[in-house]
Structure 1
């Protein structure tokens, strides 16, 4: 089954412990090796048809002195998917049943104490394109290297290493197991992986609206370029002519690359190039909730820019990112744009954009804590992210503003192996930011088209379920989102090529959007809600495929239809 943690989506795998016995045969002449395997689910569950724990062990006659001296490895405990081996039995033989029973109970008490074994070497099995040093760095960061001591049963570093390898996204399955080494206190750590397709489709644009008859595009990422763990990708979106006179086609293109960790340094680098050609709609007539294209006009602008950034791991689980984005904007604004209301009132329209060619630069600082890997061990895990954008003439920008967004969520595993994740996100803009930096209502609603590569292909507002006037809001300076998601793992298929697993999910929540100080004062004076709120809700099936996660949901359909 597939426990989804947050919006992000990792399918859990079993950890396999291999139990090796080296005993004499029945006649006492020579040795035979018996291998048993057990599957211990990483989140504390058993797959269908399996149970936690080992099968019945091969019989060993403790009354026989020859058999007792020849027991090489005896597994008496298994925790966390790892097998624990004891040292060879050296006790003197006894001839009575009481002595045999006493010895067995004593051995059980001794092996209940943690056993310390040292890793003799590490073997990686199943690797094809992922660089070996990439896997070794993950293991080393978790404290697993040749010579390291393991306390068995239940050394938490094994679980940490496995979770981090799974989080890289390179592997469909990750299995860690131990087998005996060259000495009684030595073991070989075997890392058995099954690689998944490193190319994924992260976003698909295909929709229709009353404003734009059709637009489409996609974003593709190669997460392991040349086997070095480098991310390389690109995306585009292209639309037909809007149903507004003098409007032009909207299109955007972007390429990006990222090295999450440089060799020999706890440092990551990233960069991108992009081009945006927009024909942005703005209201000139009709009521505020009317999505008809006849109530809108457009103005054109082009953006071309690039970004460079660095990322640093502060402590375990915490990452600090710094990015600098610079772009040239060329906008053609109408002269004195106004909105004529149905009652004849004329209001000036602030397009939140400078006319002509100008510069826009941003320094972005982000801090992220991701503890969702804890869900593999404890059935719970959280994530917190904070993002600060600073635009200033001191950075070479013609805009001066601060944009801050913070959010967090926590995932709980329920006793019946379902998952629930409450989350909250909020943000605010202070200053004179460009139009495309403001919070957009469509980005907050599950049922309304949002921005795609920074472009608006629809004039439809959120559905006003509560009658608060949220459908009259387009942009805002302040927003808030509260959401709860329930995930039901439905199936997990290991032997199919195109579908790995699927989850049913149900989410419900609310969101709000408010303007700047002047707009809030005007809303109060007119008796309108300052911060109207709307409903967020979605239901569907998530499929994990070699090309990424496919979302088959009600909201996904509603966003793509020309309602």
Structure 2
């Protein structure tokens, strides 16, 4: 029999006495009372309290001398005394004008230790248990602590971990408590099966869900850890995937995980029903709100007739209409989509009905479950506050923002009735997740003395639970050393302005005839214009310090050094960027556009005077949905105008090895001869254009859960023009000669960050270009 159940049965009696047995461990509790209805006592007598003072006992009962009380007050008093955890037995009785409280104290814990744990440190486990030194020894609390430790191990894939306890009596009612952990083996996921899917293969669906099969990297990625919460999230991910690919009737019939205790491995099975695939039929907007023009709202529709039905298009249309309607002064207007299926034609006609919703106001926003993230970090993602008009679209938008932060494993927003009929309480349930990471990257230094380059970084996206971003990185190789520190405050001065700074230092000795140390900082602030459009303003300060390299002194007086001038050199500039970003997934984009235009003006002191304009854009599109083949096209270009006496060589554009693969960084474009030597230094150019096409796909045979993908690509572009070496006969490559290459890649979403291995063959080049067919390093998408 449960303690709470027995207790409630006993206290509900209104007889002269009542008794019950409480099995909270092995203790028996007797509660008895003389008639207490409308009774009054003159004093309270406490017996059995030795380590806990009588005053503490009296402070935890609701009965006071001279005031009437009832059996309900006795119930509450006994409940409070048990809730302290200090007592194993409580007896309450009334004798004449005296309330007699007899308690039997629990032992006190002198010290708590955890033994046998290696995979989870003491401080992590101590944070999840309630037993504490100088606290009460409670069998009920200890059982809960054992389960909490088991849950912590299940979260890292060790579901068969066991926990026992040992006690060491010290006398005088004190005891040492030890939790003994047998961590067991990692619980793996041997199979992930799908039943009922015809439109998409098992491999494609496995790429959608969070749960992954165990592989040789699982001990690092932890993606094969099974949990009920993750399974529920996988169900929702499958629903969203099918809903956004035309299957409006899709449903998950069941999702279950079966543990084979002999092998300690789970088999996860999703049983689904896909239903019919639909396209959009007729799409219309109707309004019953006086003053709203339906024809004007039709221009906001994302769901076009004939396109594949996508729930995201419907949601985006609702969002656009809701924002427009609210801006016109109708905060209570409601947008409701109504779908009409035509099974014969396989279409869904959608009518967006705009009507006057019920007048309701937000009474308060209640946040639950955040153990690390501060409340204000969550609240500021809502465009409404207490007292504002309730708007479901605003709530939906806030949920998307919270999920996009990456701070939480789950976000759920519900409503509850307020204190009045037109008041609503918003209940925000979140679950914090790890936001810190340690990364290791690898690359290859170019140049005649090139070699392996390594980088290590520490990143925290939710610093101190305040939503701030910080990253510290250091790297180096044979010819270089790099250091950087970045910090971003996403809500500067309480506004949705992402302000931050970047500090960097680079030491480069890759060239034979000169070395260059670059150091500086930038200050930046980014403001959103819309959900997809933002603008960034930066101040940039860079100091360049050139010195002689390993070559002999006579070769320093080359045209390059003549133009560079006296070291150190300072560049002080401001830049402004506009960014449009609709990418669906920053890790592996499958759909969307990323475009950015940047202008930079230098001349705020320092040695540089110029105006630069540059831009880049990349479009992602799914070519073969089931095969998970992703296509992308990217274009980029830029031009520099000198605004002073001359353009400095170090201010001109240089292309990296990632802009046109198959060539070294700085390997194409204008070059200056190195004095008496037969080779050349890159001096950059005033204008560049590049274009690239790529298709990526899962590698055959290799399990998709390993994170490996292949790609084929074609790059082309040019870098030309020169304002720094005018009139020099030692400069080549100033014409707009086209370069082109083709190649293949292996991309690995490694636990240390995305890595990429490219092999490219130049198809069109100049004799003085520097070729680099093989390249590997940290993968970048934008």
TM-score normalised by length of structure 2: 0.44
2:515 corresponds to which of 291, 294, 300: 300
Instruction: Give the superposition deviation at 1:426.
Output: 0.9
Report SS of the residue matched to 2:568. Answer: strand
1:236 and 1:163 map into 2 onto residues whose CA distance is: 34
Instruction: Give the superposition deviation at 1:316.
Output: 3.7
Is 1:427 matched with 2:664?
no
Instruction: Give the superposition deviation at 1:540.
Output: 2.5
1:272 and 1:363 map into 2 onto residues whose CA distance is: 14
Is 1:201 matched with 2:439?
yes
With over 3 angstroms needed to count, the CA separation of the structure-2 counterparts of 1:157 and 1:448, relative to structure 1, is: farther
Instruction: Give the superposition deviation at 1:398.
Output: 1.0
1:170 and 1:557 map into 2 onto residues whose CA distance is: 40
Q: Per-residue displacement from partner, 1:42-88 (whole Å, max 9, x unpaired)? A: 344599xx9724769xxxxxxxxxxxxxxxxxxxxxx7799xxxxxx
Q: CA RMSD in A?
A: 5.0
2:726 and 2:638 map into 1 onto residues whose CA distance is: 16
Is 1:278 matched with 2:505?
no
Matched with 2:401 is 164
Is 1:510 matched with 2:716?
yes
Matches within 5 A, 1:178-193: 178=414, 181=417, 190-193=428-431
Matched with 2:738 is 532
Matched with 1:362 is 573
Matched with 1:559 is 775
Instruction: Give the superposition deviation at 1:364.
Output: 1.8
Moved more, 361-370 or 409-418: 409-418
2:774 and 2:480 map into 1 onto residues whose CA distance is: 22
Is 1:129 matched with 2:372?
yes
Report SS of the residue matched to 2:491. Answer: coil
1:441 and 1:429 map into 2 onto residues whose CA distance is: 17
8 Å CA contact 2:458–2:473 kept in 1: the answer is yes
Matched with 1:225 is 463
With over 3 angstroms needed to count, the CA separation of the structure-2 counterparts of 1:415 and 1:185, relative to structure 1, is: farther
2:476 and 2:755 map into 1 onto residues whose CA distance is: 21
1:436 and 1:250 map into 2 onto residues whose CA distance is: 21
Report SS of the residue matched to 2:774. Answer: helix
With over 3 angstroms needed to count, the CA separation of the structure-2 counterparts of 1:528 and 1:353, relative to structure 1, is: closer
8 Å CA contact 1:120–1:186 kept in 2: the answer is yes
2:592 corresponds to which of 364, 381, 384: 381
Matched with 1:72 is none
Matched with 2:70 is none
1:131 and 1:233 map into 2 onto residues whose CA distance is: 20
2:733 and 2:436 map into 1 onto residues whose CA distance is: 54
Q: Which runs of 5+ in 1 are unaligned?
A: 2-10, 15-35, 57-78, 83-111, 241-248, 282-296, 340-347, 452-459, 463-470, 492-498
Matched with 2:480 is 250
Is 1:260 matched with 2:503?
no
Instruction: Give the superposition deviation at 1:185.
Output: 9.6
Matches within 5 A, 1:308-323: 308-323=523-538
Alignment length, in residue pairs? 414
Instruction: Give the superposition deviation at 1:309.
Output: 2.5
Q: Per-residue displacement from partner, 1:375-413 (whole Å, max 9, x unpaired)? A: 9xxx85322211222221xx1111212222111223334
With over 3 angstroms needed to count, the CA separation of the structure-2 counterparts of 1:188 and 1:156, relative to structure 1, is: closer
1:407 corresponds to which of 616, 626, 635: 616
8 Å CA contact 1:473–1:513 kept in 2: the answer is no
Matched with 1:237 is 475
1:531 and 1:113 map into 2 onto residues whose CA distance is: 57
8 Å CA contact 1:46–1:52 kept in 2: the answer is no
Report SS of the residue matched to 2:775. Answer: helix
2:391 and 2:498 map into 1 onto residues whose CA distance is: 30
Q: Per-residue displacement from partner, 1:337-361 (whole Å, max 9, x unpaired)? A: 588xxxxxxxx54675222334221
Report SS of the residue matched to 1:228. Answer: coil
8 Å CA contact 2:457–2:473 kept in 1: the answer is yes
Report SS of the residue matched to 1:165. Answer: helix
Q: Which has the higher contact order (CA 8 A, sep 6+)?
A: 1
2:693 and 2:736 map into 1 onto residues whose CA distance is: 25
Report SS of the residue matched to 2:376. Answer: helix
8 Å CA contact 2:497–2:525 kept in 1: the answer is yes
With over 3 angstroms needed to count, the CA separation of the structure-2 counterparts of 1:427 and 1:373, relative to structure 1, is: same
8 Å CA contact 2:598–2:615 kept in 1: the answer is yes
Q: Which of the two has higher C-alpha Rg?
A: 2
Is 1:353 matched with 2:569?
no
Instruction: Give the superposition deviation at 1:131.
Output: 3.0
With over 3 angstroms needed to count, the CA separation of the structure-2 counterparts of 1:514 and 1:193, relative to structure 1, is: farther
1:187 and 1:127 map into 2 onto residues whose CA distance is: 18
Moved more, 422-431 or 314-323: 314-323
Q: Which runs of 5+ in 2 are unaligned?
A: 1-191, 193-206, 211-231, 255-310, 316-351, 670-679, 761-771, 778-782
Q: Per-residue displacement from partner, 1:320-347 (whole Å, max 9, x unpaired)? A: 22222224333336667588xxxxxxxx
Instruction: Give the superposition deviation at 1:422.
Output: 2.2
Matched with 1:31 is none
1:321 and 1:129 map into 2 onto residues whose CA distance is: 30
Report SS of the residue matched to 2:372. Answer: coil
Matched with 1:29 is none
2:660 corresponds to which of 445, 453, 474: 445
Matched with 1:26 is none
Instruction: Give the superposition deviation at 1:213.
Output: 4.2
With over 3 angstroms needed to count, the CA separation of the structure-2 counterparts of 1:272 and 1:187, relative to structure 1, is: closer
Matched with 1:93 is none
Matched with 2:693 is 484
With over 3 angstroms needed to count, the CA separation of the structure-2 counterparts of 1:206 and 1:411, relative to structure 1, is: closer
Q: Per-residue displacement from partner, 1:14-69 (whole Å, max 9, x unpaired)? A: 9xxxxxxxxxxxxxxxxxxxxx997363344599xx9724769xxxxxxxxxxxxx
8 Å CA contact 1:204–1:219 kept in 2: the answer is no
TM-score normalised by length of structure 1: 0.58
8 Å CA contact 2:661–2:773 kept in 1: the answer is no
Matches within 5 A, 1:107-126: none
1:487 and 1:124 map into 2 onto residues whose CA distance is: 42
1:552 and 1:231 map into 2 onto residues whose CA distance is: 29
Q: Per-residue displacement from partner, 1:268-308 (whole Å, max 9, x unpaired)? A: 32223333333352xxxxxxxxxxxxxxx321333333322
